[in-house]
Amino acid sequence: MQLSSQYDPSSIEDKWYQVWMDQQAFRSVPDQRPPYTITIPPPNVTGILHMGHILNNTIQDVLIRRKRMQGFNACWVPGTDHASIATEAKVVQMLAQQGIKKSDLAREDFLAHAFAWKEKYGGIILSQLRKLGASCDWERTAFTMDEGYSKEVIQVFCDLYRKGYVYRGVRMVNWDPSAQTAVSDEEVNHKETQGHLYHLRYEIEGRHGEAVVIATTRPETILGDTAIAIHPEDERYTHLHGARAIVPLVGRSIPIILDTYVDREFGTGCLKITPAHDVNDYEIGIRHRLPVIDAINPDGTISAAGELYVGQDRFAVRKQIAKDLDAAGHLVKQEPYTHAVGYSERTNAAIEPRLSQQWFLKMKDISQPALQAVTDGEVKLIPDKFVNTYRHWMENVRDWCLSRQLWWGHRIPAWYIVGTDQVVVAENEALALQQARELTANPSLTMADLSQDEDVLDTWASSWLWPISVFKGISEPENEEIRYYYPTNDLVTAPEILFFWVARMIIAGYEYRGQKPFQNVYLTGIVRDDQRRKMSKSLGNSPDPLDLIAQYGADAVRVGMLLASPAGNDLLYKEILMEQGRNFANKIWNAFRLVMSWETSQEVPGDRDLLAIDWMTNKLDASLLEIQDHFDKFRISDALMSVYKLIWDDFCSWFLEMIKPDYGKPISQAAKEGTVVLFEKLLQVLHPFMPFMSEELWHGLRERPASDLICLSSMPEAATPNLANLEEVALIQEIITTVRSFRKDKGIAFKEPVALFVNTEQAATFERYRSLLDRFLNLSELSFVADQPGGTGSMRVRSHEMYIPMANVDTEAEREKILKEIDYTEGFLTSVMKKLSNEKFVGSAPAQVVEIERKKQADAEAKLEVLRKSLNELGGGN
């Protein structure tokens, strides 16, 4: 068999994914096994795979594949989110390119376009996940606007309304003038923005020449001014109590009011009040029963109520009104000023605080169990530092604005009775009509008398049901699936959406199932570039994951991503990580090539073979325990690093070097079989991380039926490792390393056999591992001595001293080397003795700890003895 020395993933990955699909390897249906369930954080239906998805989904796949191999009924539910704002924005953009304006379309027509778009491009991301190797049960693929799912979303809204949690009210919302919708607090990014602080002069009504000066960053909002506020105890302005001011340009008379909200230190200490366009002003307006002048239209232009500049954009007006105010003598000064401005996360438009009718969910009561669950550890956050953040947020939770002024989404199931201000909320038209008839006591009402709310629900008002609704847990609360799979086990997501999504899922879980939705929440970091900048399209600093997979292979990409990403830490992406993953794959591939190249004989295994297999078996057991421990603590990177070192260092660098036959010679059949068995176990441990290559080699190592897949095999379980054996081999390895170092140092080529003389009390150990020493050190002779033979150089491991003959012994260099070792060992001994001579230490430290120190002392003293003896023999003395 001729195999390339470089592993080529491209020819293998698609092949195995197809086999897995054909054999329904990832299909899950309820059965007798315990379930292990993950519901995917549904990506935007129109999204494409980015580096964050790679990290996130690799972690999920590692978890799910491992549990699948550990005998759980592993179920990973995939799907997509309709992502109302993002998707609608894309559709609007797509239509614009075709010369179609959204405003020219009827709702139904627009939705037809949107669904057509979704059919065409929706779910591309899911097919991309297959390239990564994601072992989802694709038959379960869900979408938050599927018919059944939508039904549950509506049902929940109606239920919450009936329970009194949902209400409708006029509130100041974050208005996105570009998308023309309200967005949630969480979807607003505050950014430091360079602007100006304008000092404006308002004349006092009826007092000629007298004026008050206010400071504002938004002069255009004076069109909506309905008061000036001063602090009641501000002595500079007591003469203004009860007076009225005139709004410049507009000429409107407004009261001067007293409110402690005003900060006397800021600006002039006078604050203009625009209740319609500022959150704080709105609240002050309510306290003082001020009129509200809505001077800005939904699209960001000045409204008729503003009187001036009607129809012009707010930013254009800001510039113009400053000039006009200046010309009219009202602009006292204008200074550069940096302040935080809110921008829409979706459209990046400057947010306009705006009053509007919205639907809200009261959060205080409904969120209590969810707060409790996380504080009590019923739901675990990993890493747990997020618990504090979570608690802080939940304790100060604000009502959730549920409505969005969009078409793409779940239309709010509220109907207004035309000509009245009455509203009914119901699951469907028929029920709504029935309720409306009862409400109005008018049985002759028809649908024509009802008009449905135009708004849709916030996306999160559907995705918060995700772990429930993918199993139809709302509409069929007792069905077999929800009872089997819920609560799910782990959720893997980004900390950015801890409140958007995770907290709300927990709330919904307790409200609708009376149980948590998942046990553990693993919060990944954010993928950044090597300068710690977030990966973004506009910066162009994000590689295309599919290119990376094509270039390095999915297994390598998975390994590369995981190697540098402990939970909760950001991942600094570097191409070199991908190379490391690829190199690892290549290493394994070559180990495979080596083993496959061995010819076998029927001889019994040699001593070296037996030692090697025995040690590797122990090493594997020890590593299995370590790996399990890492997984228990969600230390996925560490678990991978353990596998990496187990394969690269222990298996390839040591075991294969121990067992491989001399060139051109066969290996005993039994030894080869032992090697294959170990290799198979390694591949199984590796499988969750590198599913494709492990499956390929699983089938390459041994003839097996096509149905014998590694992904469905049973994960090896750890036996108790023989620690004495591991300890002994560790000593032998240390000796090998030391002698190799000595050879290199003295320029003795490996090809040149050497004699090794050893002064040790453990000659038996050396003898027992003689065959390994021969193999790694190319020994011509191994003998035990009591003194250093002449013409040799020395080296020490612990208290064993070894000598190798040398042509020219540099006595001075030897002396120096030994003195240096003495120096270090004495320092070490001193620190140990400091502890041991302290009665309080011996008295209060645990016996085990004292014992360890005594051992350290004995070892150090033995070593010093050896060193001093050598020094004497060199003719030095000390």
Partner RNA sequence: GGGGGAUUAGCUCAGUUGGUUUAGAGCGCUUGCUUCACACGCAAGAGGUCACUGGUUCGAAUCCAGUAUCUCCCACCA
Site for RNA in 387-416 (CB under 7 A): 388-389, 392-393, 396, 398
d(CA 696, CA 685) in angstroms, rounded, equals 14
Is 218 near RNA (CB under 7 A)?
yes
CB of 740 to RNA, least distance (A): 4
Is 566 near RNA (CB under 7 A)?
yes
Q: Which of 576, 712, 719, 730 binds RNA (CB under 7 A)?
A: 576
Question: Other CB atoms closer than 10 Å to residue 112's CB: what's the count?
Answer: 12
Q: 307 phi and psi, to 5 degrees?
A: 70, -50
28 vs 493, which CB is nearer to RNA?
493
Is 217 near RNA (CB under 7 A)?
yes
420 vs 737, which CB is nearer to RNA?
737
Q: Under rule CB under 7 A, which residues in 171-190 are in contact with RNA?
A: 185-186, 190
218 vs 800, which CB is nearer to RNA?
218
d(CA 52, CA 558) in angstroms, rounded, equals 12
Q: Under rule CB under 7 A, which residues in 605-634 are in contact with RNA?
A: 629, 633
138 vs 499, which CB is nearer to RNA?
499
CB of 266 to RNA, least distance (A): 3
Q: Which of 75, 228, 262, 402 binds RNA (CB under 7 A)?
A: 262
Sequence-ordered strand ranges (E) for 545-593: 571-572
With beta carbons less than 8 A apart as the criterion, state whether 561 and 571 touch. yes
For RNA (CB under 7 A), the number of binding residues is: 97
Is 564 near RNA (CB under 7 A)?
yes
With beta carbons less than 8 A apart as the criterion, state whether 493 and 524 touch. yes
CB of 330 to RNA, least distance (A): 15
Length of the chain: 878
Q: Which of 278, 449, 650, 680 binds RNA (CB under 7 A)?
A: 278
405 vs 637, which CB is nearer to RNA?
637
CA torsion, ordered 278, 280, 283, 288, to nearest 10 deg:
-90
d(CA 473, CA 482) in angstroms, rounded, equals 6
CB of 547 to RNA, least distance (A): 16
Q: Under rule CB under 7 A, which residues in 73-102 are in contact with RNA?
A: none
Angstrom CA distances, 456 to 152, 543, 861, stand at 15, 35, 79
d(CA 683, CA 365) in angstroms, rounded, equals 51
Residues in CB range of 80: below 8 A, 6 or more apart? 42, 43, 44, 45, 47, 122, 123, 125, 126, 141, 142, 143, 144
Q: Which of 75, 145, 215, 402 binds RNA (CB under 7 A)?
A: 215
Which of these ranges, 374-382, 458-466, 473-481, 578-586, lies near RNA under the rule CB under 7 A? 578-586
CB of 486 to RNA, least distance (A): 28
CB of 478 to RNA, least distance (A): 37
Which of these ranges, 110-118, 255-263, 482-490, 764-772, lies near RNA under the rule CB under 7 A? 255-263
d(CA 675, CA 594) in angstroms, rounded, equals 11
With beta carbons less than 8 A apart as the criterion, state whether 691 and 597 touch. no
Is 831 near RNA (CB under 7 A)?
yes
Is 838 near RNA (CB under 7 A)?
yes
Is 652 near RNA (CB under 7 A)?
yes
186 vs 205, which CB is nearer to RNA?
186
Task: Indicate the DSSP class of residue 768.
Answer: H
Q: Which of 841, 868, 869, 874 binds RNA (CB under 7 A)?
A: 841
Q: Under rule CB under 7 A, which residues in 731-790 are in contact with RNA?
A: 736-738, 740-741, 744-745, 750
Going residue by residue from 494 to 523, which x/- string records binding to RNA, judged by CB under 7 A?
Answer: -xx--x------------------------
Tokens for 682? 């390694």
What is the dihedral sign for C-alpha 259, 265, 270, 275? Answer: negative
Q: Which of 151, 196, 201, 264 binds RNA (CB under 7 A)?
A: 264
Q: Which of 824, 854, 858, 872 binds RNA (CB under 7 A)?
A: 824
Is 570 near RNA (CB under 7 A)?
yes
Q: Under rule CB under 7 A, which residues in 678-737 are in contact with RNA?
A: 736-737
31 vs 265, which CB is nearer to RNA?
265
CB of 757 to RNA, least distance (A): 20
Q: Which of 162, 166, 158 is closest to 413 using CA atoms?
A: 158
450 vs 585, which CB is nearer to RNA?
585
76 vs 552, which CB is nearer to RNA?
552
Is 849 near RNA (CB under 7 A)?
yes
With beta carbons less than 8 A apart as the criterion, state whether 668 and 600 touch. yes
Would you call the peptide bond into 487 cis, given omega within 30 degrees of 0 as the criterion? yes
Is 340 near RNA (CB under 7 A)?
yes
Residue 538 exposed, middle or buried by CB count within 10 Å (0-12, 13-18, 19+): exposed
587 vs 798, which CB is nearer to RNA?
587
In this structure, which long-range contacts are made by residues 412-415, counting pairs with CB atoms below 8 Å and at least 24 apart in sequence? 412/157, 412/359, 412/452, 412/453, 412/455, 412/456, 412/457, 413/154, 413/157, 413/158, 413/452, 413/453, 414/168, 414/359, 414/452, 414/453, 415/450, 415/451, 415/452, 415/453
Residues in CB range of 784: below 8 A, 6 or more apart? 757, 758, 759, 760, 763, 766
142 vs 302, which CB is nearer to RNA?
302
Q: Which of 210, 299, 826, 865 binds RNA (CB under 7 A)?
A: 826
Q: Under rule CB under 7 A, which residues in 6-35 are in contact with RNA?
A: 6-7
Is 287 near RNA (CB under 7 A)?
no
Is 648 near RNA (CB under 7 A)?
yes
Q: Which of 609, 691, 679 is closest to 650 using CA atoms?
A: 679
Task: Indicate the DSSP class of residue 207.
Answer: S
DSSP states along 585-619: HHHHHHHHHHHHH--EESSPPPHHHHHHHHHHHHH
Q: Under rule CB under 7 A, which residues in 295-314 are in contact with RNA?
A: none
Angstrom CA distances, 307 to 270, 302, 313, 329, stand at 24, 8, 14, 20
75 vs 257, which CB is nearer to RNA?
257
Which of these ranges, 78-86, 309-317, 385-393, 705-713, lies near RNA under the rule CB under 7 A? 385-393
Instruction: Encode 114-148: b = buried (16+ Cβ within 10 Å), e = exposed.
Output: beebbeebbbebbebbbbbbbbbbbebbbbbbbee
Q: Which of 146, 638, 673, 873 binds RNA (CB under 7 A)?
A: 638
